[in-house]
Amino acid sequence: MHRLLKNLASGFLCQFFITPVYGGQEQKPFIQAARVEAIYHHLVKNHWVPETGLFISFFGTQDRKLVQQASTYDQAAAGILALRLGDIERARGIFHFFRSAWLEGPLKSGREGVSGLANFYNAEFGGDGIEKTIHMGPNAWAGLFAATLGNVTQDKEATEWALKVAHWAAQDLAHSGGAVAMGPMHGADDVPWPKIYSTENNLSYYALLAELLRAPALEAADRQWLEAEKNNLEDWLVTTAFDRLAYTMNRGMNPDGVDRIRALDTITWLISALGPERLNARGIDPDRLMLQAQESFEVSVNGLAGVDPTDQPEADLTFTLITEEVIPRGAAPRTAENGHRMIWYEGLGQYINALNTMAHYSEQAGRPEKALAYTEKALLLTEQFDQAALPNHAAGAAYAYATDGKFFHDGWYPPMDAADGPASSLISAVWRCYAGLGIDPLAGKDIAGVPAVDISAPKIARVNRPRPSVLYGASDDMVIQAWQHLQQGDTDRAIQQAQATIAEWSEWALKLQEKKARKVGHLVEYSGLPEQRKEIFSYWALNDVAAAHFILGKAFDQKRHHPQAAGAFQQIVQNYSLAQIWDPRGWFWSPVTSIGEEFVSADPRHYGDILPQMLAASPNIGNQPF
């Protein structure tokens, strides 16, 4: 057994060589060592990118927007697992990426001076990922991971950085009644994250505060403000977030009032972060809370038992609600089969942990029959979890993120399948290991009573994998990469990157062209006002896809492939005429106008058919900034 596992400095206090007995019965293990090792080997071999130190969140998905993406929360959870298994090198790789990204973030355009990690990063290329929103929850998990790293390895840099994350949440984010807002900035479509208070996000923050308070060398002044922040947050969780009438948790608060949508993780993480003993002391019966979770979230889908991320009313609403969003290929909000329900495998790991926590609590309270009931359900769901392991990978080594369905009516979809079945989910595999080993990162310790598994530190050689030639992710990241290739004179890679951008985002671009034509009908005037810039950027995919076509045309022109260049320019004129592209020097420009000046007027022999009316009106038409 790896020596580190016997000497963890804070938390993860493992009950090796002890076989728990509940209700007079010896407890079966929740996972075998061989499965843990196979899961972790699969993650390192297929998900891990040595160049960045990050793990790809969804391996094999056919949705290229997600194929290179690394969720910040997923990285933190994977880092805690790596640490628990003794893989300190990979854990430190994630930490070093986080710390660098934290320092670089405030220097980036669009968020000047604003600290915080983005929700996603590109695992292959290292930059911001498909979702650049700064949410408190993923940042709290990153801080929780760093605080755990610091406590386990006595790494002062990790502890200091975790303290910075907590200080950022305490000082830079809005507070209300002890709770902390979801983020420092408004998001897409002007979502007011500074005025939204998420229960799940605040439970993550509570866990970070608790882990920092376990740091042995914490200064007295830091301990004082951390304790005050934690106590105020606990008050909000057990009063405002907890719905005493329904005896469950609210999803949070927003400018419209209390968000009463039911979410599984608000209960499972409450039980983990505060613990049933503390909940009982604050007047909340944890058994009654678990009964409410059972009635709301336990489901059977396609013959397998599991848990839904939400309850039946929200599942029904998600099934019936029609939105204007672009639905991912092959997806549906909720299916009619299985009563509109779905299984969430990450959440299943969380739920098994909550059951095992309640089993130990019941045993300590002198209720062995109750403890046995919780344990038997946890074992049953563990077996169901493993029956859902993906057959297209090493047996028992990979898990889907969820079955088909949209999580909430205002939520997200599971990643698109791989070519041969569901994509392999990093976070589902991590939570399968958590549930099997009894790791409770939100509590900062192993769950007492979960049978120990003797696992050696992973001995996995460095993985050599070719770096992809095309960056996939957000449309602006993809088109910026294409511009860079063009400016460097690499026309072939510029063409490849531009074509990939068009293939991934043209559906959204056409939708936004139609929307802008309907709502505005012309280019938006830009005189430097922030609200004008914001309006133009709201048509993001339209602008980026038009820019990709423009890059394509310029690259083909430089290669003297004039018919292909003309075809690219014609696409802009016909389909993306209202696009406006940002110039870092401080203005927006119209690609249609630039086509007229740079190509139609300059080379009418090859491009005169694109805008013949422009040539007829004036051969010297100017390129006016908007």
Three-class secondary structure assignment of 523-553: CCCCCCCHHHHHHHHCCHHHHHHHHHHHHHH
Query: What is the model's pLDDT at position 24?
Result: 58
pLDDT-based confidence at residue 611 (cuts at 50, 70, 90): confident
Q: What is the 3-state secondary structure (H, E, C) of 479-516?
A: HHHHHHHHHCCCHHHHHHHHHHHHHHHHHHHHHHHHHH
In the chain, which segments carry CATH 1.50.10.20? 3-324+337-446
The answer to whether the CB of 601 falls within 8 A of the CB of 621 is: yes
pLDDT-based confidence at residue 626 (cuts at 50, 70, 90): very low
329: pLDDT strictly greater than 70: no
9: pLDDT strictly greater than 90: no
Element (H, E) at 273: helix 264-274
44: pLDDT strictly greater than 90: yes
pLDDT-based confidence at residue 15 (cuts at 50, 70, 90): very low
- The beta-strand segments (E) located in 1-53 are 21-22, 25-26, 48-49
8: pLDDT strictly greater than 60: no
pLDDT digits (tens, 9 = 90+) for 117-166: 999 999 999 999 999 999 999 999 999 999 999 999 999 999 999 999 99
Query: What is the model's pLDDT at position 325?
Result: 56
Query: What is the model's pLDDT at position 18?
Result: 45
Query: What is the model's pLDDT at position 328?
Result: 63
Query: What is the model's pLDDT at position 356?
Result: 98
pTM, 2 dp: 0.91
65: pLDDT strictly greater than 80: yes
Mean pLDDT, the chain, as a whole number? 91
Cα–Cα distance measured from residue 59 to residue 72, given in angstroms and rounded to the nearest whole number = 16
428: pLDDT strictly greater than 60: yes
Collapsed DSSP state (helix, strand, coil) of residue 601 = coil
Query: What is the model's pLDDT at position 457?
Result: 65
pLDDT-based confidence at residue 21 (cuts at 50, 70, 90): low
Query: What is the model's pLDDT at position 14?
Result: 37
Answer yes or no: CATH 1.10.569.10 is held by domain 3-324+337-446: no
Q: Left (φ > 0), alpha (ψ -120 to 50) or beta: where does 587 sit?
A: beta
175: pLDDT strictly greater than 80: yes
Collapsed DSSP state (helix, strand, coil) of residue 452 = coil
Query: What is the model's pLDDT at position 407?
Result: 96
Query: What is the model's pLDDT at position 424?
Result: 96
Residue 332: both structure tokens together? 């549906």
Taking residues 315-333, what's their average pLDDT? Answer: 74
15 CB-side CA count, 13 A:
17
- The Cα-based distances of 559 to 325, 344, 571, 589 in angstroms read 38, 50, 19, 24
The torsion angles phi and psi of 167, rounded to 5 degrees, stand at -65, -40
Taking residues 258-283, what's their average pLDDT? Answer: 98
pLDDT digits (tens, 9 = 90+) for 440-469: 999 999 999 999 998 876 676 666 778 899
- Where are the alpha helices (H) located in 407-468, listed in sequence order? 426-437
Taking residues 374-378, what's their average pLDDT? Answer: 97
pLDDT digits (tens, 9 = 90+) for 555-582: 999 999 999 999 999 999 999 999 999 9
Q: Residue 290 contacts by C-beta under 8 Å, 6 or more apart in sequence?
A: 267, 271, 354, 355, 358, 374
Element (H, E) at 583: strand 581-583
Query: What is the model's pLDDT at position 1?
Result: 30
pLDDT above 70 coverage of the chain, percent: 91
pLDDT-based confidence at residue 111 (cuts at 50, 70, 90): confident
Taking residues 485-501, what's their average pLDDT? Answer: 97
Cα–Cα distance measured from residue 230 to residue 239, given in angstroms and rounded to the nearest whole number = 14
Cα–Cα distance measured from residue 602 to residue 72, given in angstroms and rounded to the nearest whole number = 48
User: Minimal CA–CA distance to 227: which of 243, 241, 210?
Assistant: 210
The torsion angles phi and psi of 154, rounded to 5 degrees, stand at 60, 35
Cα–Cα distance measured from residue 10 to residue 495, given in angstroms and rounded to the nearest whole number = 52
285: pLDDT strictly greater than 60: yes
The answer to whether the CB of 192 falls within 8 A of the CB of 137 is: no
494: pLDDT strictly greater than 80: yes
Taking residues 243-247, what's their average pLDDT? Answer: 96
Collapsed DSSP state (helix, strand, coil) of residue 121 = strand
The answer to whether the CB of 418 falls within 8 A of the CB of 17 is: no
Taking residues 605-617, what's their average pLDDT? Answer: 74
Query: What is the model's pLDDT at position 322?
Result: 63
591: pLDDT strictly greater than 70: yes
Axis crossing angle, helix 136-153 with helix 88-104, rounded to the nearest 10: 130
Q: What spatial distance separates the first Cα and last Cα of the chain, rounded to whole Å?
A: 66
Cα–Cα distance measured from residue 214 to residue 205, given in angstroms and rounded to the nearest whole number = 15
pLDDT above 90 coverage of the chain, percent: 83
Please tell me the total number of residues recorded for the chain in this structure.
Answer: 626
273: pLDDT strictly greater than 90: yes
Cα–Cα distance measured from residue 305 to residue 332, given in angstroms and rounded to the nearest whole number = 21
User: Minimal CA–CA distance to 310: which of 327, 330, 288, 293?
Assistant: 293
